[in-house]
Structure 1
Amino acid sequence: MTPAPDAGLGIREEDGGEAGFRILHVSTGNVCRSPITERLTRHALAQRLGDTRWGGLVVESAGTWGHEGAPMEENAVTVLGEYGADASGFTGRELRDEHVIRADLVLTATRDHRAHVISMGHSAGLRTFTLKEFTRLVRAIDPATLPPVED
């Protein structure tokens, strides 16, 4: 069965999904900022890589003061709709050690969120960036140095 464009990119560990690479978005309540960046990342990857090309990549989110089980805020749902991204099925969750341990890349909304993740240990400082920091790093990459995408 081929996953829906956003579905395969969003398996959370409680769903039993295994992944080759996990991206974790972190904000405070996990009902607005991090769900938006989680779902926009999934949407962009699905558009660029196609429905069947996500290769087990997992994009998820949590909050430092997460509202466990809470729905996404309506304004966040509206923003996602404006970009064509799927907001369905989201439930908020609190950031836990296992989320940080399993993440290969942690992207945070602010420096305070980054500091919180790093304070949790687990060598998180080596793979945790604010969105602004990560954007600067990605923009510094010369696309000509990247390997070709396999079909």
Structure 2
Amino acid sequence: MKLLFVCTGNTCRSPMAQEIAKKVLAEKGIDAKVSSAGIYAFMGTSASENSLKVMEEIGLDLSNHMASLLDRKMLEENDIILTMTQGHKESIISSAPDFKDKIYTFGEYIGIGKDIIDPFGGSVDVYRSCRQQLEDYTYKLLEII
């Protein structure tokens, strides 16, 4: 299985989701390739400072992360594309409607329906809340895949 997480700039939510999912899936022995991208990413941008901090708190390292801009090849290569918000999902589907059957919001896919909060520019506590939401959603994801 190939799983792609998508947010806006690929510096906060989607790289955090990627690393959390890699860890949890590996712990459960689930063979999956996990990646992330942003619909408006600036290629090569590093993860945000607060993303680095809150991920380090749980033993995950984003220091080598470089933002990737979502492209058609990524949509083709991945089995499931999980966006952080309904707006991200709609944006991708409007430009690539042929992939609509494998694009979901993360919340929609796990049956919760809520968007992942955007911590960009927020305090460390806001990033922690986002990280916790991503962890909760990822454990729910395990029940499905």
Shorter-chain TM range is: 0.7 to 0.9
Q: Write the mapping of 1:24-35 to structure 2, written as runs, cut at 5 A.
A: 24-35=4-15
State which structure, 1 or 2, has the greater radius of gyration over its C-alpha atoms.
1
Q: Write the mapping of 1:1-150 to structure 2, written as runs, cut at 5 A.
A: 21-49=1-29, 54=31, 57-121=32-96, 123-136=98-111
Q: CA RMSD in A?
A: 2.6
Which secondary structure does the structure 2 equivalent of 1:126 belong to?
helix
- 1-structure distance, mates of 2:143, 2:25: 19
Instruction: Check the 8 A contact 1:22/1:59 in 2, yes or no.
Output: yes
| Deviations, residues 71-109 of structure 1 (Å, cap 9, x unaligned) | 111111112122222324211011111111111000001
Which secondary structure does the structure 1 equivalent of 2:67 belong to?
coil
| Deviations, residues 105-131 of structure 1 (Å, cap 9, x unaligned) | 000010010012212326321111111
- 2-structure distance, mates of 1:40, 1:142: 15
TM-score (norm: length of structure 1): 0.69
**Number of residue-to-residue matches in the alignment:** 119
**Percent identity at matched positions?**
28
TM-score (norm: length of structure 2): 0.72
> Which ranges of 4 or more aligned residues in structure 1 deviate by more than 4 Å?
none
| Deviations, residues 45-68 of structure 1 (Å, cap 9, x unaligned) | 12221xxx63xx210011010120
Where does the alignment leave 5 or more consecutive residues of structure 1 unmatched? 1-20, 147-151
Instruction: Check the 8 A contact 2:46/2:63 in 1, yes or no.
Output: no
Instruction: Check the 8 A contact 1:107/1:131 in 2, yes or no.
Output: yes
